[in-house]
Amino acid sequence: MTVLFRLDANARAIARPFGAYSGNDPWAGGHVAPGGFAPIITEGREFVAGPGAARQTRRMVPRLWGVPPPPSANYNARPVLSVANPDSPFWIGNLRNREFRCLVPATSFMVWGAGTDYEGRRLRHWLAPEGETLFAFAGLWKDSEVPSFALITRPASPEVRALGAERMPLVLPGHEKAYALWLRGGWDRASSLLETDPEAPLRELPPSDRG
């Protein structure tokens, strides 16, 4: 599963294609690792404390990658990076509430391969949709004391499975219809995106493009 991705653009350049307001987001570009901040794009409220708040426009906000584990987890449990089972009680309430769905912009992502390199290290493969310099994962944020998000995942596409990975982030089709469906659609319709293959084929980046 992905434990690293890149977002090689500044906040304004990221927000523009998604029709979002970047505000004072300080993002300047680079790697995103578990526990690190990254911009997400949401149409929900910053915090959901109850009914009555006015709807806000699409905007970009910084959040940590990795939501606090459920109370049933042991004390040393790590933050949860991805949503593998959308029907889990830990996730389904948030997924059904469109306020908590978000776009997670990226320019490439890493998956673990099946083999090792000449130094015995597990292979890393960096991927991006063909012809897209900026794309979006489907994401979900949690309303808690930690401003955090997780990536929605799905079974690996054939080209990613051939590299040795079993799962991958859900890469949304690169157009406004898909973004709006994920951010605003009822769960009965938005959940159809979980079965959607990347619109553009995923290509492996050469070492010079991996940052």
| CATH number, domain containing residue 114 | 3.90.1680.10
The verdict on residue 52 lying in a domain is no
Residues with Cβ within 8 Å of 91's Cβ and at least 6 positions away in sequence, in order, are 83, 85, 140
> What is the pLDDT at residue 153?
95
The verdict on residue 95 lying in a domain is yes
User: Helical H runs in the chain?
Assistant: 11-15, 89-96, 158-161, 176-184, 187-190
The verdict on residue 152 lying in a domain is yes
Q: How many residues does the chain have?
A: 211
pLDDT beyond 50 at 54: no
> What is the pLDDT at residue 77?
82
pLDDT for 107-133, tens place per residue?
999 999 887 777 778 889 999 999 999
Predicted TM-score (pTM) of this structure: 0.91
pLDDT beyond 80 at 94: yes
pLDDT beyond 50 at 41: yes
The verdict on residue 153 lying in a domain is yes
Three-class SS of residue 108? strand
Report, as an integer, the average pLDDT of 34-46: 89
Read off the tokens for 19: 């029709």
Domain limits for position 159? 5-45+57-68+77-209
pLDDT beyond 60 at 171: yes
Determine which of 32-36, 118-122, 169-173 has the lowest per-residue pLDDT on average: 118-122
The verdict on residue 51 lying in a domain is no
The verdict on residue 50 lying in a domain is no
Q: Provide the number of structural domains found in the chain.
A: 1
The verdict on residue 133 lying in a domain is yes
The verdict on residue 36 lying in a domain is yes
Decide if 94 contacts 142 (C-beta within 8 A).
yes
> What is the pLDDT at residue 52?
43
